[in-house]
Structure 1
Amino acid sequence: MALTVLITGFGPFPGAPFNPTAALAKRLARRRRPALSGTDRIAHVFPTSYAAVERELPDLIDRHRPDLVLLFGLAPRTPHLRIEARARNRRSTLFADVDGMHPSLAIRAGGPVTLVARARQQPLRIAARTARVPARLSTDAGKYLCNFAYWRALELTRSHAGLVQFVHVPNASRAGARMRSSGNKRRRFTEADLLRAAEAILLALLVAARETPWKPERTLAAVRSSSDSAAAMTETRVSAAG
């Protein structure tokens, strides 16, 4: 049976007019490799908006019932991939989203302080580094939309065996322009670098997902938000032939 994989990225946000995760999610969903046969991949790009994630993510999970949710977000000042091990029940009240919203501090009042990924993290770091892209393990996904989407995805899937993983990627340009920080040169990153690392991480997660199959009797009713009305969404769906 094919594994269903939901792959997400984000659009631009204040301070980041170009977000490479949007194209990354779509390209990874379209990737044709023998190792990716037997997967049904759906790509989705969220506006960098709390309301959009709250509205669209529960619907995506409910409709597609993915065995694996792989989320990508941009960490523009980080010179490597960050494999995020957990999400925290917190948000920054200082930074507005693209709608100008300043959220409350807690994601879920009275909810768990943290939610933890079930996949082993070290194989994911090794996979990215094998793809010649530096990567580190992280236990802090931040306080913005990335952490929020990660926490909600983990919350929405905690009643079943599906895997959820968030990966922060460094900035990249189509031309691979050199990035600088405090006058020091950093390694060049291109969209091809990110795609190569993302594919390696996806393959490692597929191994883990096949060891922890989705439970068909699961229900999302207990954890879905009351504001989860269906929304018009743009998706890319690829069914890879075996």
Structure 2
Amino acid sequence: MTGNLRILVTGFGPFPGAAFNPTMPLVERLAKLRRPALDDVAIATHIFDVAYATVDRELPQLLAAHRPHALLMFGLAARTPWLQIETRARNAVTTIWPDQGGTRVGKRSIAGTADARTFGPHVFRLLRAALATGIDARASRDAGSYLCNYLCWRAIEATHHRTGTRLAAFVHVPPLRRDGSARVPGGLTLDHLVDASEAMLLEMAKAARQADRAWNPRRL
């Protein structure tokens, strides 16, 4: 690896049924982290509009511009009160719910290949890191069939090409109030999410270094 380790951290904007997406302030907070363990990590951030065309256009642009070694992506799970670390992307897309731009997909699959694609065993390291902060975090095999799952699929695709992106992970967060407080008594707050996400970011950096050593033994 030449230069800094590069990690791209992404979130989503609002979408129909969710006028406030807590991944936006979460990504903003992560961009401002200053920790010794991240001194040589270049963190780029991006917020996607909740639109299929936006993901298809902007993800390749971001990969070309930042050449990240790893992707750490966040999305909102509006009905889930815990942190949810996705283990795979399903080859499924809803034909019912339109995206923010009004586009409704006309077929039920993303690609005519496998039923699912997995992120890899590193996601369980992220899960353990999140749990170590004391929050309720769980692994998930179902990222839904909307934009979050779609981005998961496209990101895993990217790791299969020799673009330098080795690892990707996607984390669903619960809904919050606009002030960062929990939506339910005793629920997760923005501060909880930042602490857990920081721990996952640190673990992602370690995993990315190890993955890069495996691909390029002479580096690092």
TM-score, normalised by the number of residues in structure 1: 0.82
Structure 1: runs of 5+ lacking an equivalent:
181-185, 217-242
Aligned residue in 1 for 2:148 = 146
Aligned residue in 1 for 2:84 = 82
Distance change (3 Å), C-alpha of 1:114 and 1:129: same
Kindly indicate whether the alpha-carbon contact (under 8 Å) linking 2:177 and 2:183 is maintained by their aligned counterparts in 1.
no
Aligned to 2:169, the other structure's residue is in SS state strand
Corresponding residue to 1:25 among 11, 24, 27: 27
Structure having the higher helix fraction is 2
Aligned residue in 2 for 1:61 = 63
Corresponding residue to 1:179 among 169, 179, 183: 183
Distance 2:74 2:134 in 1: 18
Structure 2: runs of 5+ lacking an equivalent:
none
Q: Which amino acid aligns with 2:75?
A: G
Distance 2:180 2:7 in 1: 28
Tell me the number of residue pairs that the alignment of Structure 1 and Structure 2 aligns.
Answer: 210
Distance 1:174 1:98 in 2: 20
Deviates more, 1:21-30 or 1:168-177: 168-177
Distance 1:148 1:52 in 2: 11
Q: Give the deviation of 1:174 after TM superposition.
A: 4.3
Deviations 1:78-117 (A, max 9, x none): 1110110100111010111111111121112x22221111
Distance 1:175 1:190 in 2: 9
Q: How does 1:125-140 map to 2 (within 5 A)?
A: 125-140=127-142
Distance 1:37 1:176 in 2: 27
TM-score, normalised by the number of residues in structure 2: 0.89
Aligned residue in 1 for 2:108 = 105
Structure 1 runs (4+) greater than 6 angstroms displaced: none
Aligned residue in 1 for 2:199 = 200
Distance 2:173 2:92 in 1: 21
Kindly indicate whether the alpha-carbon contact (under 8 Å) linking 1:28 and 1:199 is maintained by their aligned counterparts in 2.
yes
Aligned residue in 1 for 2:75 = 73
Aligned residue in 1 for 2:168 = 164
Q: Give the deviation of 1:30 after TM superposition.
A: 1.9
Distance 1:94 1:144 in 2: 10
Q: Which amino acid aligns with 1:189?
A: L
